[in-house]
Amino acid sequence: MADEAQTAEGGAKKKAGIMLIAGVGILTLVGAGGGWVVGGMIAPKEPAATAEHEEAAAGAHGEAGKKDEGLPHISTPASGVVMLEPITTNLAYPSENWVRLEVALAFKGQPEMPLAESIHQDILAYMRTVSLQQIEGPRGFQYLRDDIQERVDLRSQGKVAKVMLRTFVIE
């Protein structure tokens, strides 16, 4: 009688183990299938299929012959906006901190490239004299913008209408 109870208990343990393994296997297959479906929806399509889709979208807007070049750049001679080269320099104090600044100038008339280069060099020289404590917080950033605008106004003698800070990063 004791032997029959042990074999019945051992058979129940085997069935429970097999059911557990089967359940984990089925859940793994369902999870893999779901991941494959979601990945197919999210992943970028083949380049040929993407090009066909873009051509179809352009054709729907009546621009089948044109290539979509994206949004026009803001810095064009016609708009009077000149994007300066990025300014990367260290600060005066602490000298281990670096700043990267991208500036665009909006000219009142036709842009003058030598003047834009002169302004670029002036901003670079000014940024080397600024300390981190001077530009901390929103008020310090506003003071920096005002100082740069004032320097540009003096250098350009009123030819630049606005200085636009495109990016400002301190490391």
Span 44-68, pLDDT tens digits: 666 555 555 555 555 444 444 444 4
Among 13-22, 95-104, 112-121, the minimum mean pLDDT is found in 13-22
Percent of the chain's residues with pLDDT above 70 = 73
Banded pLDDT at 23 (limits 50, 70, 90): very high
Span 53-112, pLDDT tens digits: 555 555 444 444 444 455 455 666 667 889 999 999 999 998 899 999 999 999 998 888
pTM of the entire structure? 0.55
pLDDT of residue 8: 59
Token digits of residue 143: 């003071």
pLDDT of residue 53: 54
The residues facing 82 across adjacent strands are 105
Banded pLDDT at 117 (limits 50, 70, 90): very high
pLDDT of residue 43: 75
Q: Which residues of 44-80 are buried (b: 16+ CB within 10 A; e: fewer)?
A: eeeeeeeeeeeeeeeeeeeeeeeeeeeeeeebeeeeb
